[in-house]
Chains A and B, each alone.
Chain A
Amino acid sequence: MIVPFAHVLIFAAILFTMGLGCVLARRNLIMILIGVEIMLNAAAVALVGGSAYWRQVDGQVFVVFLMAMTSAEVAISLAMVVYLRRRRGTLEADRFDGLRG
């Protein structure tokens, strides 16, 4: 580990907050998904940093699981984006205000 662990965690926290802000502020579905990606990568930074700090490989293994989970999530959510675009003709999240879908 080349830097204090606190700096790694602060870096991950800033990255996570940026992703959270993107999810909260942007109303386009693609941008919301990009915000989710940023948050997941912040979690990966924290995991790899912890793996280097405690000298255990488990953190890196969990990053691999995180990547698999992200792949599944992106596949499903982009399919939903295409589906919503076909049915509603828009990707603005504010337009999807009916519970019937």
Chain B
Amino acid sequence: MNTAPSIPGLWCHDMIGSVVFYLLAAATLTATLLCITRTSPVHAVIYLVHAFFDLALIFYLFGAPLVAAWEMIIYAGAIMVLFLFIIMMLELSPGGKPLTVDRRRWIPVLILSLVTLGCTVLLIIQDPSSAGSGTAYHASPRDFGTALFDHYALAVQVVSFQLLFAAVGAYYVGKGEPRKRGEQPS
């Protein structure tokens, strides 16, 4: 493991780094809150892309540059664009009526979520081992690649099989039904 904190320049100053973290956390939470309350799914996806950008910066601050890059490439670049593509293909928002947001539905959800969140935060605060902050950490791509393809080589194989199964399953589910039979789908 890379023991020396090798994050260059600015981020060695803990003060600036922590201020940036809190700013990014606030921006992420705001974007996520806006995302889950939008009526148009396209707006929701765009806000979520913004939240993912902020999350990628947070990952970089925590010394995970590769994860930050992949957060951008895979989450914001691939998955969210796939969402947008599906929304546009199904013509969800512009033509039809906007999605219904029932105000009364949020009340029990808010109560349940706040209880869960309060208990979790209490447990986190109570734990004395989580109060420290340690020193700066920066995982070099070499450490990352060694851990990924050496210690977790079997898991990488399993994940590749999983992706293959997902591709086959998505093709099977997504392919159109044969129109010739003319039978009503049950």
Contacts and interface: CB of A to CB of B under 8 A. Distances in A.
Interface of B: 1, 3, 11, 14, 17-18, 21-22, 25, 28-29, 32-33, 35-36, 41, 44-45, 48, 51-52, 55, 58-59, 61-64, 66-67, 70-71, 74-75, 78-79, 82-83, 86-87, 89-90, 92, 99-102, 105-106, 109-110, 112-114, 116-117, 120-121, 124-125, 127, 130-137, 139, 143-144, 147-148, 151-152, 155, 159, 162-163, 165-167, 169-171, 173-174, 176-177, 185-186
Given A45-B55, A55-B134, A80 B117 contact: no
A88 B29 CA distance: 35
B125 A69 contact: no
B42 to A, nearest CB: 10
A32 to B, nearest CB: 11
A34 B36 contact: yes
Judged by DSSP, the binding face of B is helix
Contacts of A57: 1, 139, 143-144, 147
Contacts of B52: 41
Given A3-B133, A28-B41, A30-B86, 9 more contacts: A3-B17, A11-B25, A19-B36, A30-B92, A48-B59, A53-B134, A64-B67, A67-B70, A71-B74
Contacts of B174: 79, 82-83
B100 A27 contact: yes
Query: Which of A38, A57, A63 has the most chain B CB atoms closer than 10 A to its own CB?
Result: A57
Given A6-B125, A21-B110, A48-B64, A74 B82 contact: yes
A74 B75 CA distance: 11
Contacts of A70: 74-75, 79
Contact of B28 (A1, A7, A10, A15): A15
Complex A-B, nearest 4 residue pairs according to Cβ-Cβ distance, in ascending order: A72-B166, A2-B17, A22-B36, A79-B170
A94 to B, nearest CB: 10
B134 A61 contact: no
Q: Is the interface of A mostly helix, strand, loop or mixed?
A: helix
B41 A14 contact: no
Contacts of A55: 1, 3, 134-135, 137
A100 B186 contact: yes
